[in-house]
């Protein structure tokens, strides 16, 4: 509950006309409906959306012939002044709310942004419209739904792939990745076009780091949203696309948001590696080394799971196994990960170890020396996933001839009685 409401319990009276007639709380964003009655925006929107006689005004019971909500700036300023005057009583000034987008302004901005070349609308004006739309989209989910309802994604895709002005490309891309690409046709329209895929690949090496991150984000979205494996396998044949994504993982600190760059880089690499006949490109582009380095440096839980899933996918190829096996940290890191992060992380780590230990005896010996036996015994008795247990059992069977006594003695550091962050 906001601190501005706490003084009610201390006997401070909120003026009657500062209270929302629906919630009886201090209004933070007062708006007036067509009947002239004022409510807090959140309360009246909830009233209308949940069907509580949503065709009538809650106070007057008069019909709501128009659901337009007009900000009551005068009342909001009076409430803010009252908050300031009662600061000594613990009341905090309510912030000036950001006004939500409305259909008229959204239509006008989209029209301005998509104006054809040669018209009176300049590139600068079109870019300004896109920035304004992006500000709206960032403000709230309601704004994003409204913008998307006006065919915004199709308009933005058209601007992105048809305009040559760098400013329009970067702005349309930055806005487009805010919206989920849930329509398969839109994803296919991008990924099935070698020219568009090539354009996005070039953007991965753009001078603007934000554009590079957003290009990787869009690539991940369209690859994930396309179900046709043959389409993905046919188009995603350039090693450059992997090099661009991997470079984000290699140098995330050059961005204003390193965490976002890492997250998008991990997601994009995983999505690309789901395509079987392109995994060799990920390996030759340096994915094994950067994945292990990033896992060793530390990622959040979701990113750790996705990175480990990518490691397991790449270990299913001979070249991937060889590359991961040659990295000094791979085997001990995978052993240490078991039961340390999450059930999914345990499953992926066990799967990658199974592939490595199946490939060469030296990696079996390295895993045993790192304490994998005790970890696996704990894992198969734990409540982890059935798939993880099956992988663990297969790995134990594979390692049974490599169990020297010291494999247990050296495992104290790897024992785990609870799941803790990696």
Reply yes or no on whether the pLDDT at 349 is more than 90: yes
Residue 150's pLDDT is 94
pLDDT on residue 263 = 94
Does the predicted TM-score (pTM) go above 0.75?
A: yes
User: pLDDT for 31-78, tens place per residue?
Assistant: 999 999 999 998 998 888 776 555 788 999 888 888 788 899 999 999
Q: Is the same domain home to 291 and 385? A: yes
Mean pLDDT, to the nearest integer, of 230-244?
Answer: 81
- Claim to verify: residue 333 and residue 396 sit in the same structural domain: yes
Domain final position from 142, 164, 179: 179
Q: Judge if 200 and 257 occupy the same domain.
A: yes
pLDDT at residue 390, as a whole number: 92
Total Cβ atoms within 10 A of residue 202:
13
Among 7-11, 46-50, 88-92, where is mean pLDDT lowest? Answer: 7-11
**Average pLDDT of the residues in 157-180:** 93
Cα 320 versus chain centre, distance:
27
Q: Describe the strand order of the beta sheet including 30-32 as a list of residue ranges.
A: 38-40, 30-32, 70-71
The per-residue pLDDT for 1 is 35
pLDDT at residue number 404 = 55
> What's the pLDDT at 101?
86
268 and 298 fall within a common domain = no
Give residue 117's pLDDT.
64
CA atoms of 411 and 404, how far apart (whole Å): 12
Q: Among 306, 347, 355, which residue's Cα sits nearest to residue 330?
A: 355
327 and 382 inside one domain: yes
- Kindly report, residue by residue over 262-275, the tens digit of the pLDDT: 999 999 999 999 98
Phi/psi at 70 (5° precision): -100, 120
* Residue 390 located in a structural domain: yes
User: Distance from CA of residue 119 to its chain's centroid?
Assistant: 37
Give a yes or no: residue 209 inside a domain: yes
Q: Is the pLDDT of residue 233 over 80?
A: no
Identify the weakest region by mean pLDDT among 16-20, 117-121, 214-218, 319-323: 117-121
With cut-offs at 50, 70 and 90, classify the pLDDT of residue 300.
Answer: very high
Which is more confidently placed, 220 or 422? 220
| Count of domains observed in the chain | 4
So what's the pLDDT on residue 97? Answer: 84
pLDDT for residue 9: 44
Question: Which of residues 285, 310, 330 is at a domain's end?
Answer: 285
Range of lowest pLDDT (86-90, 107-111, 276-280, 406-410): 406-410
Average predicted confidence (pLDDT) for the chain? 87
Tell me the CA distances in angstroms from 329 to 17, 288, 308, 404, 411, one per residue in order: 66, 11, 14, 22, 17
Is a pLDDT exceeding 70 seen at residue 7?
A: no
User: Looking at residues 173-180, what average pLDDT do you find?
Assistant: 95
In a domain, 421, yes or no: no
Residue 191 lies in domain: 183-285
CATH number at residue 389: 1.25.10.10
Strands 38-40 and 30-32: antiparallel
Within a domain: residue 406?
no
Q: Summarize the confidence of residues 11-30 as an average pLDDT.
A: 89
Last residue of a domain, one of 89, 116, 134: 89
């Amino acid at each position: 509950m906001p601190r501005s409401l706490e003084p009610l319990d201390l006997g401070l009276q909120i003026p009657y006309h500062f209270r929302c007639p629906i919630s009886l709380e201090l209004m933070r964003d007062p708006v007036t409906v067509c009947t002239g009655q004022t409510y807090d925006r959140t309360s009246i929107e909830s009233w209308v959306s949940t069907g509580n006689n949503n065709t009538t005004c809650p106070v007057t019971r008069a019909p709501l012939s128009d659901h337009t909500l007009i900000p009551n700036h005068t009342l909001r300023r009076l409430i803010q002044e009252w908050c300031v005057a009662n600061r000594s009583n613990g009341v905090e000034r309510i912030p000036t709310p950001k006004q939500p987008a409305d259909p008229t302004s959204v239509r006008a901005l989209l029209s301005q942004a998509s104006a054809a070349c040669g018209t009176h609308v300049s590139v600068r004006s079109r870019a300004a419209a896109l920035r304004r739309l992006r500000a709206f989209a960032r403000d709230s989910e309601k704004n994003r739904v409204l913008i998307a309802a006006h065919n915004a994604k199709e308009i933005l895709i058209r601007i992105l792939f048809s305009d040559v002005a760098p400013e329009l490309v970067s702005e349309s891309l930055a806005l487009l990745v805010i919206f989920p690409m849930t329509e398969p046709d839109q994803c296919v329209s991008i990924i099935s076009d070698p020219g568009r895929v090539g354009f996005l690949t070039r953007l991965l090496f753009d001078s603007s780091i934000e554009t590079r991150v957003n290009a990787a984000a869009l690539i991940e979205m369209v690859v994930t949203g396309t179900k046709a494996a043959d389409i993905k396998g046919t188009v995603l044949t350039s090693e450059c696309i992997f090099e661009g994504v991997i470079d984000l993982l290699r140098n995330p600190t050059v961005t204003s948001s390193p965490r976002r760059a890492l997250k998008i880089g991990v997601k994009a690499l995983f999505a690309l590696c789901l395509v079987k006949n392109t995994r060799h490109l990920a390996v030759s582009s340096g994915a094994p080394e950067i994945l292990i380095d990033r896992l060793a440096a530390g990622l959040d839980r979701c990113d750790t799971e996705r990175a480990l899933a990518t490691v397991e996918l790449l270990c299913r190829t001979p070249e991937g196994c060889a590359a991961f096996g040659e990295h000094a940290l791979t085997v001990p890191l995978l052993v240490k990960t078991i039961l340390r992060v999450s059930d999914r992380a345990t499953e992926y780590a066990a799967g990658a170890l199974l592939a490595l230990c199946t490939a060469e005896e030296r990696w079996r010996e390295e895993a045993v020396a790192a304490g994998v036996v005790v970890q696996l015994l704990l894992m198969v008795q734990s409540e982890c996933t059935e798939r993880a247990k099956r992988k663990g059992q297969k790995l134990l069977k594979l390692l049974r001839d490599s169990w020297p006594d010291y494999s247990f003695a050296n495992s104290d550091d790897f024992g785990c009685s609870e799941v803790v962050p990696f």
